[in-house]
Structure 1
Amino acid sequence: MGFFYEVPGLMGWAIGLGVLIALMALNEFGRTTMWGGLLLYLILPIALTIYVWPTTAAPGNEYGTGNWFNWVKTYSALAGCLGFMAIRYIPSLAKNRYALAFPAFILALNIFEACLRDFQVYSYGAWDGQIIDNLWLMSGPWNIMNGIAGLLNIITICGWTGIIISKESSKDMIWPDMIWPWIIAYDIWNFAYTYNCITDHSFYCGVILLLSCTIPAFFIKKGAWLQHRAATLALWIMFVMSVPSFADRIAPVPATRDPDAFFAASFVALLANVALAVYQFKKIRKHKLHPLKDELFSDTAPYKLVMAQNR
């Protein structure tokens, strides 16, 4: 912990745990009821867009929430939540191949936005670290490494043609081919991105936020990682846009700002995504699969488990 962040005190750990529990609970509220989802991802953001964010996320504000990336990320995450709800609750969409391409598209778009931000931070030339647009940033080779890792993560998105809707009342969007190697490679890359580009906020938007979707994907509703990810991301970024002082003043967990920490996070992210790409390439070649049409992992135990739970 001390390598990446200054170790939080007891209160800091309690706040982090509280944020984690709140994100998971709200995700469950939006996941298990259609009206809960509409309230959280449609009605609430409309109200915030009109009455709150023009003030709390105004361009140039002292907390850095007014930059283009925050606004784009907010609405792309919400678009994902609402698009996934449409697929879940409109039967014809769940069987439409073009509609099933939407989850892969919005996921790739979100990753690509982050890659652009990593490359942008490198272009600032802030080699010794400096405050830019009210955010502390340090440019370095880690931005390039992690940008490449993110692009590999996009390339390895696969199997969306096999997306199904669960038979439960929650009607979850299940992506059986999105098994744990891809999820872990994504998590490592995304943590490195947050550390590179939102350094002093990354304990929450990196560590806590990633746990809030990965824990449900492994222990609450398997196969629905992307649904969990979109929901928790949307919830967190709406909160940050509304209470921008949270990570800076209310409950800060500062990063160590050690160049070795930046390098290590991005180096591991690049290795993980190279390994994932090699693994997928071998499966494609061995089984003569089409990565844009076929499911790649239908012979694996995680895939079979998810299918057995949702038939």
Structure 2
Amino acid sequence: MGILYNVPDLKTWAIMGFVLLALMAFNELGRATKWGGIILFIVVPIALTIGVWPTTAAPGNEYGTGTWFNWVKTYSALAGCVGFMAIRYIPALAKKKWVLCFPAFILALNILEAAIRDFQCFSYGATEGAYIDNLWVMSGPWNIMNGIAGILNIILICGWTGIFVSKDKTKDMIWPDMIWIYVLAYDLWNFAYTYNCISDHSVYCGMLLLLSCTIPTFFIKKGAWLQHRAQTLALWIMFVMTVPSFADRLAPVPTTHNKTAFFIVSLLSLLVNLIAVIYQFSIVRRKKLNVLKDEIYVDTNAYQLVIKENK
């Protein structure tokens, strides 16, 4: 994979493919039925919290899963899954506009957590790379660029008042204003975040994890990007908290530790998010929209296709 990663052998490629397919399959299980979601995102996490994670994700453990960020990210992702299920399966909730701000809030919170982490990694001053909290980190301007990109990505969140539950039996949480523009900007930002802050784990928690929710968004269930994202993120981080040695010992895919790669990845993230913000606000200004109340992309084919398939 050239400038970004050193993939050791074909076996590792096969493992990477299996991880991608497993995440997509469990995501489908979680959205197919109410009980599938309850088991995966409520019953299993409670059992792991009580019986497993205090050991496998203990503070200071050798795999870096015991940091504040891992614990906060785990429960914020799970909170998103549970909250989205409540919207999907309790009809009265989906009709209340104030409830619909929850998906936007939990998304913004998750992005903010990661942006803070990027700034924190810059503050370490590890300009030549170092193991901090048992994770390899290299500090540099890329952290600042991508932290700013994360803030821009929060600004891009729009159209939450248009969230609704799909008419089919899966009852997905549909957010039609989250068209490909946002998904692209988010994916680039989040990949850069993982590359910067969880560098040698980023092929899994970055590239593959993002593919596992982006592919369903365009080819399985359009309009349900945030639901796909929350569920695949929760699934992956629960696995990592349970089997912390996976990315370091069982199937490692280290980055090249190339400063140019860090810079290019974060620069691309920053530029795309900046362009997206400028474009979005040009629409808001031209149409005289209220970004807190109005949907922005209602005239696009992507938006109209989601409405046609789900409402």
TM-score exceeds 0.5 = yes
* 2:304 corresponding residue in structure 1: 304
The reply on whether 1:77 has 2:77 as its aligned counterpart is yes
* 1:2 corresponding residue in structure 2: 2
Deviations along 1:35-79, one digit per CA (max 9) or x if unpaired, are 000000000000000000000000000000000000000000000
* 1:250 corresponding residue in structure 2: 250
Q: Aligned-pair distance for 1:10?
A: 1.0
Unaligned runs of 5+ in 1: none
> Aligned letter for 1:28?
E
Report the RMSD for the aligned CA atoms in angstroms: 0.5
* 1:236 corresponding residue in structure 2: 236
Q: Aligned-pair distance for 1:8?
A: 3.8
Deviations along 1:157-204, one digit per CA (max 9) or x if unpaired, are 000000010011110000000000100000000000000000000000
Structure 1: how far apart are the matches of 2:251 and 2:135? 16
Structure 1: how far apart are the matches of 2:214 and 2:310? 19
* 2:197 corresponding residue in structure 1: 197
Q: Secondary structure at the match of 1:271?
A: helix
Structure 2: how far apart are the matches of 1:79 and 1:102? 10
* 1:63 corresponding residue in structure 2: 63
Q: Secondary structure at the match of 2:98?
A: helix
Structure 2: how far apart are the matches of 1:43 and 1:209? 22
Q: Secondary structure at the match of 1:128?
A: coil
* 1:94 corresponding residue in structure 2: 94
Q: Aligned-pair distance for 1:7?
A: 3.0
Deviations along 1:99-128, one digit per CA (max 9) or x if unpaired, are 100000000000000000000000011111
Q: Secondary structure at the match of 2:112?
A: helix
Q: Aligned-pair distance for 1:269?
A: 0.0
Q: Aligned-pair distance for 1:309?
A: 0.4
Alignment of 1:136-151 (within 5 A): 136-151=136-151
> Aligned letter for 1:170?
T
Structure 2: how far apart are the matches of 1:292 and 1:141? 32
Q: Aligned-pair distance for 1:9?
A: 1.6
Structure 2: how far apart are the matches of 1:93 and 1:269? 35
* 2:24 corresponding residue in structure 1: 24
Structure 1: how far apart are the matches of 2:177 and 2:275? 17
Structure 2: how far apart are the matches of 1:263 and 1:101? 34
Structure 1: how far apart are the matches of 2:128 and 2:275? 31
Would you say how many aligned residue pairs link Structure 1 and Structure 2?
311
- TM-score normalised by structure 2 residue count: 0.99
Structure 1: how far apart are the matches of 2:128 and 2:77? 32
CA contact (8 A) 2:146 2:193 kept: yes
Structure 1: how far apart are the matches of 2:305 and 2:116? 36
* 2:112 corresponding residue in structure 1: 112
* 2:218 corresponding residue in structure 1: 218
Deviations along 1:241-284, one digit per CA (max 9) or x if unpaired, are 00000000000001000000100000000001001001101100
Q: Secondary structure at the match of 2:278?
A: helix
CA contact (8 A) 2:7 2:13 kept: no
Give % identity: 70
CA contact (8 A) 2:159 2:295 kept: yes
> Aligned letter for 2:162?
G
CA contact (8 A) 2:41 2:78 kept: yes
> Aligned letter for 1:267?
L
The reply on whether 1:286 has 2:289 as its aligned counterpart is no
Q: Secondary structure at the match of 2:131?
A: strand
Structure 1: how far apart are the matches of 2:159 and 2:195? 29
Structure 1: how far apart are the matches of 2:20 and 2:68? 26
* 2:135 corresponding residue in structure 1: 135
Unaligned runs of 5+ in 2: none
* 2:180 corresponding residue in structure 1: 180
* 2:164 corresponding residue in structure 1: 164
Name which of structure 1's ranges 6-15 and 287-296 shifts more when overlaid on structure 2: 6-15
Q: Aligned-pair distance for 1:2?
A: 1.4
